[in-house]
Structure 1
Amino acid sequence: MDPHAEHHDHEAELPEEEKVRRAGHVVLDAVVAADVGGDDPDKAQAAMELVFEHLLEIDAIELLLDEETEELELDISPLIGGVMLVVRRLVAELAARDGVDEEAVVMSVRAALDAAAG
């Protein structure tokens, strides 16, 4: 028996809260992986592919088939939940560090996003 398949079967049974928690960790892994390759795009790509594989392993991203309509549905709710956990925590950390409220941090990030989109 393939131990990886057994691992995946176990992962498929994770409660939604655990999928969200693990997805948050994978989001942080992606931040680190983005820097892994340095100037080597192949290394950076390999690191990001590994991150994507982890999202699939924990079912943070699922492709579902609606048998009635025969339509495919992409469910990324655990991934979005993990992203929200990370962003909310980072906003809280920045607000506490700077002695401002969380709204001020969000406004600052919005301004930086708008400036970057230029």
Structure 2
Amino acid sequence: MDTRYQKWVTASYLGAAILAGYIVSALAARLVGIYDLETRVRNIDLILRVSSVLLGAIAFFILVRHQKANQFMNEVMVELSRVSWPTQKETTSATMIVIIMVVISGVVLGFLDYLWTVLLKWVV
């Protein structure tokens, strides 16, 4: 197994674990508000924070220890390193073409909207 990219894989696992902890924290905070648990349970904020951090840590350690996930993520990183990414000039020119086409489409749709409005006012 190619482990040249293991630090990036571990960093992506850390990001996924932080995101999972945040999502659980946000969802739990909403549920606490809906079910009015802050009046029933003492230190509910502390419980939510600790459980979110704990869930994130568990997710991180499960991902780091999972051999198939590590192998897959390392293969993804190898494939990403093989991709021929466009140059800055190519990216800039493609972006300019997209901007020009969006402006042209907006003008055409605006003109058609204006014609449709005039036609409806004339009919009605």
Q: What TM-score bracket applies, with the shorter chain setting the length?
A: under 0.3
Q: Choose between structure 1 and 2 for higher RCO, CA contacts under 8 A separated by at least 6 residues.
A: 2
Q: Which has the higher helix share?
A: 2
Larger Rg computed on CA atoms: 2
TM-score by length of 1: 0.27
